[in-house]
Every structure is written in structure tokens, then in C-alpha cells.
């Protein structure tokens, strides 16, 4: 039961993280009309406003927690 729940939580966190990061990217592009900034966003800071950066930070946090849950799943319930 716990294994299935952890698997569900893992998927939800990973998908939520990716969706929040995508939302922040689309908000940035909508505001600046600069698609090249999306590629730069991964490597260095771009001029994101507070609202866009909040979505980006929350998405990265969800994604990292999802990866940690994945590692815990693989440690306690290996395939």
C-alpha cells in the first residue's frame, strides 16, 4: 500500500514540477516575447519578475522533492 502511494506521490510531484516550470516559462515569454530567453533561463538568470520566478522556484522545488521520493522508492522497494 505504501509503495503504491509513494509511486503516486512521485509522479504527481514530478508532473507538477514540470508544469509549474512550464508555466513560468510561458509567463516570461508572454511578457517579453523573447523565446531565446528560455534557453538561457536554464544556464543563467534572465530578467524574470517576482511572479514568474515564484512559479519557477516552486516548480523546481516540486521536481527536486519528486526526485528524492523516487530515490527513496528505489531504495526501499527495488524493482
The predicted-structure confidence for 25-35, as pLDDT tens digits, reads as follows 999 999 989 88
User: For cell 514568474, what's the residue?
Assistant: 52
> What's the CA gap between 73 and 2, in Å, rounded?
10
Mean pLDDT for the stretch of residues 53-78: 93
> What's the CA gap between 4 and 30, in Å, rounded?
39
Enter the pTM of the model: 0.85
The pLDDT of residue 21: 92
Amino acid at each position: 500500500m505504501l509503495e503504491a502511494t509513494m509511486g503516486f506521490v512521485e509522479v504527481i510531484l514530478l508532473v507538477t514540477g514540470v508544469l509549474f516550470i512550464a508555466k513560468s516559462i510561458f509567463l516570461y515569454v508572454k511578457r517579453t516575447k523573447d523565446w531565446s530567453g528560455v534557453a538561457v533561463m536554464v544556464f543563467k538568470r534572465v530578467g524574470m519578475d517576482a511572479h514568474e520566478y515564484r512559479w519557477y522556484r516552486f516548480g523546481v522545488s516540486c521536481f527536486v522533492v519528486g526526485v528524492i521520493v523516487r530515490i527513496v522508492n528505489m531504495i526501499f522497494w527495488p524493482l
